Amino acid sequence: MPALSRWIVLLAVAVTCGQLRAQNGFKDIPTDPKPGDALLAEYFAKETKRLTNRTLADIQTKEDWEAKKDNYRRQLFEMLGLQPLPKRTELKPVITGKVEQEDFTVENLHFQSRPGLYVTGNLYLPKNVEGPAPTILYVCGHGAAKKDGVSYGNKTSYQHHGEWFARMGYVCLTIDTLQMGEIEGIHHGTHRYDRWWWPARGYTSAGVEAWNCIRALDYLETRPEVDAKRMGVTGRSGGGAYSWWIAALDERIQVAVPVAGITSLHNHVVDGCVEGHCDCMYQVNTYRWDYPMIAALVAPRPLLIANTDKDRIFPLDGVVDVYTKARRVYSLLGAEDHIGLCIVEGPHKDTQPLRVPAFHWFERFLKGKEPTDTFELAATKLLEPTQLQVFPDGLPKDEKNTTIDETFTRVAKAPAPPATQGEWATQRDEWMHELKAKAFRGWPNKPEELNLTKIAEQTTDGITLTRYSFLSQSPYELRLYLVHREGLALAELDLAVLNALEEEDWNSFLGDVGAAFPKAFEGETLPELNKKAFGLEKRMYDSQKWAMAYVCPRGIGPTAWTDDAKERTHILRRFLLLGQTLDSMQTWDIRRAIQALRSIEGMSEVNLWLQSSGTMAGNTLYASLHEPQIHRLDLHGLPASHREGPYYLNVMRYLDTPQAVTMAAERSMVRLYTDQPGDWEYTEKTIETLGWEPKQFETREPVPSGESE
């Protein structure tokens, strides 16, 4: 196929991958690095490699794929917040205006993909075409068109695509995205607005875009001008990503040409491309996929992956990686001629050389025509933005576009207290199952050896502090500090309290205790000893057979990373791409610290208390649910909802913090230090109804700063 071969370039390997990463402009290590930055980079590289190696590794035959593809597609629906699938409510389409051109007509229209969720679009209809025509759903990238405070929608920035298709005999529906549409919603929940509760409720703006595309196909099927058996999709940048979503989810798409819309997990996490993308590019990665999985779900339907060779947010090596791995699935299905890779020269930009091969692909697979070498018509913008405006008289007052993140995914309603112990046990077990499967799936399947090692020990003024190290998860070797009265055998302890520290707690610990033991804190910059606080600590050890243990989960204290707010945002986003959150992995670290403490000789049977504050109190709470024989929890300032943290994937779809506290109270005594005791009514009523010991749960006044209980 000589004409096509000019544009479809099949590459066996990416060219000069190292050069491409140097060109992309993103930073792996911050400009003012801390020791924890390099450790974090190593962790991200290892976890990314683990996910990359296992993606599609179990697909070795055609039968493997046929047996598993439906479940993979169900998982993708779920990760986009579309499981269960929303009800297909009435679309209520309205045509608000028409524009006549010599060889096509444009209808300005809107429909509601859900009540109040408006999709604005332009439908390009070719003239002088008999019968239903092949149809293109064109999904836009981020191309703002705004003047005097009025948004005309990114559909006006991409109008030349719809016009070109219409002049070539295609029906083309170009739809606005949630962000930069005529009704301006939000894509940048975690990127810009710190809405970390988005993944906690299983929400991503990518899900809205996918659903709007599904409903756009529903609308197109109602139009007599459309041949519903010949529908394709294309778009670039953000629109390239949405092309992937709809092509993978909905087999009504017969042909797909995503342009500059996908690259490898390695590019996003290790090379830093995540910094250049908003949330609409990503599913909530519960099942921990690399992106070739999404591409494979299009098989065996015709798929052309198009990109430029100098695209800094979709680097060439990652694009080729996605293509190569998806091509293997196409080959297993005997459809290798249905997948192509188009690479043209240039940056991340909408260019004519990218559009021509896309049109060739649609001609071939939607019309059954061999494409010609050239096209006489250039794709140029012919209309003013005002001509394509759907709402010239103002936006609808019942729109939900601007608040759709609050309602798009279902979250668990606050349950009534269980009536019986059996009812409670059933509900508790369901919650624990969902937590393991959907919130903490990113925990290691096979924990590594703890490798508990005694590093240093020092006695000061009758108090002994021992520093241990243990392996939580490679490469995170964490420190565990154990403090008790000099000469007291550990087996004689009445109790031990493990404190999981936030950064503020760590700094206090260094000044209140650590400064008295410089040998055990070798390499650490210690402040001046707070003699008053140390005196109170000594008095406790003199009068009680207690031990205090301290651990800093990853990202805290010795393993802390950059303080730069922007860089920290993208660190948190990298965890999300790996199917984790920082909070979920800190919870794992607390679990491992519990195991390490128990493994110290003499500590296996000692009453163990856990204590933490703020968000870390939430991590400690959930760690306690997965470890046996936790006698008591002291949780200071625990947020009453996961809306405020800690943030775990999908957790709000199943339960909220009061239900987790109740599960803990069945196993351990729980003491909440809070100024909002009414937030914990569910726990109190459950304990009362089921006849548990009242001492299992208490709320108390917050402890003033600098004091201990």
137 has pLDDT over 50:
yes
**CA triplet 31, 33, 38: central angle to 5 degrees?**
120
How far apart CA 301 and CA 182 sit, in angstroms, is 33
Which two structure tokens, joined as six digits, stand for 58?
A: 């179990």
* Residue 479 pLDDT level (bands cut at 50, 70, 90): very high
* Residue 20 pLDDT level (bands cut at 50, 70, 90): very low
Preceding omega of 475 cis (within 30 degrees of 0): yes
How far apart CA 634 and CA 669 sit, in angstroms, is 9
How far apart CA 683 and CA 398 sit, in angstroms, is 38
From 406, 427, 462, the end of a domain falls on 406
| Strand ranges (E), 104-225 | 104-114, 117-126, 133-139, 146-147, 150-151, 171-175
Tell whether 353 is covered by a domain.
yes
How far apart CA 511 and CA 529 sit, in angstroms, is 5
Which two structure tokens, joined as six digits, stand for 505?
A: 């707690």
Q: How confident is the model over 240-263, as a mean pLDDT? A: 97
From 391, 406, 421, the end of a domain falls on 406
* Residue 35 pLDDT level (bands cut at 50, 70, 90): confident
pTM: 0.94
User: Both 135 and 216 in a single domain?
Assistant: yes
1 has pLDDT over 60:
no
User: Both 469 and 402 in a single domain?
Assistant: no
Q: With 0-12 CB in 10 A as exposed, 13-18 as middle and 19+ as buried, what is 568?
A: middle
Asked if residue 388 lies in contact with residue 160, where contact means CB atoms within 8 angstroms, the answer is no
* pLDDT of the residue at 32: 65
Which two structure tokens, joined as six digits, stand for 380?
A: 């140029």
How much is the mean pLDDT over the chain?
A: 93
User: Both 487 and 349 in a single domain?
Assistant: no
* pLDDT of the residue at 374: 54
Share of the chain above pLDDT 90, in %: 89
Q: With 0-12 CB in 10 A as exposed, 13-18 as middle and 19+ as buried, what is 511?
A: middle
Asked if residue 400 lies in contact with residue 116, where contact means CB atoms within 8 angstroms, the answer is yes
User: Both 451 and 597 in a single domain?
Assistant: yes
* Residue 140 pLDDT level (bands cut at 50, 70, 90): very high
How far apart CA 156 and CA 146 sit, in angstroms, is 10
Tell whether 370 is covered by a domain.
yes
Tell whether 500 is covered by a domain.
yes
pLDDT tens digits for range 67-97:
999 999 999 999 999 999 999 999 999 999 9
Q: How confident is the model over 680-706, as a mean pLDDT? A: 93
350 has pLDDT over 70:
yes
In sequence order, what are the residues at sequence separation of 6 or more whose Cβ sits closer than 8 angstroms to the Cβ of residue 339?
Answer: 299, 302, 303, 304, 305, 323, 326, 327, 330
Find the DSSP H helices in 341-481. 352-366, 421-434
| Secondary structure letter of residue 127 according to DSSP | S
pLDDT tens digits for range 534-568:
999 999 999 999 999 999 999 999 999 999 999 99
* Residue 375 pLDDT level (bands cut at 50, 70, 90): low
11 has pLDDT over 80:
no
Asked if residue 104 lies in contact with residue 125, where contact means CB atoms within 8 angstroms, the answer is yes
How far apart CA 585 and CA 579 sit, in angstroms, is 11
Tell whether 100 is covered by a domain.
yes
Cβ count near 546 (within 10 Å): 19
User: Both 384 and 460 in a single domain?
Assistant: no
pLDDT tens digits for range 634-666:
999 999 999 999 999 999 999 999 999 999 999
181 has pLDDT over 70:
yes
705 has pLDDT over 80:
no
SS3 of 172, please? Answer: strand
User: Both 399 and 453 in a single domain?
Assistant: no
How far apart CA 293 and CA 299 sit, in angstroms, is 10
User: Both 360 and 467 in a single domain?
Assistant: no
Tell whether 422 is covered by a domain.
no
Which two structure tokens, joined as six digits, stand for 211?
A: 């659903």
Tell whether 699 is covered by a domain.
no
User: Both 328 and 461 in a single domain?
Assistant: no
Domain tally, the chain? 2
388 has pLDDT over 80:
yes
* Residue 370 pLDDT level (bands cut at 50, 70, 90): confident
Higher pLDDT, 395 or 21: 395
pLDDT tens digits for range 439-464:
999 999 999 999 999 999 999 999 99
User: Both 397 and 451 in a single domain?
Assistant: no
How far apart CA 683 and CA 157 sit, in angstroms, is 54
52 has pLDDT over 90:
yes
Which two structure tokens, joined as six digits, stand for 6?
A: 């000019």
How far apart CA 436 and CA 431 sit, in angstroms, is 9
From 638, 665, 690, the end of a domain falls on 638
User: Both 391 and 453 in a single domain?
Assistant: no
* pLDDT of the residue at 377: 64
Asked if residue 418 lies in contact with residue 686, where contact means CB atoms within 8 angstroms, the answer is yes
User: Both 364 and 502 in a single domain?
Assistant: no
* pLDDT of the residue at 300: 98
Tell whether 247 is covered by a domain.
yes
5 has pLDDT over 80:
no
Q: How confident is the model over 220-226, as a mean pLDDT? A: 98
CATH number at residue 586: 3.40.50.1820
User: Both 382 and 458 in a single domain?
Assistant: no
DSSP run (H or E) holding 442: none
Tell whether 644 is covered by a domain.
no
* pLDDT of the residue at 372: 64
SS3 of 472, please? Answer: strand
Domain of 512, in residue numbers: 443-638
* pLDDT of the residue at 33: 74
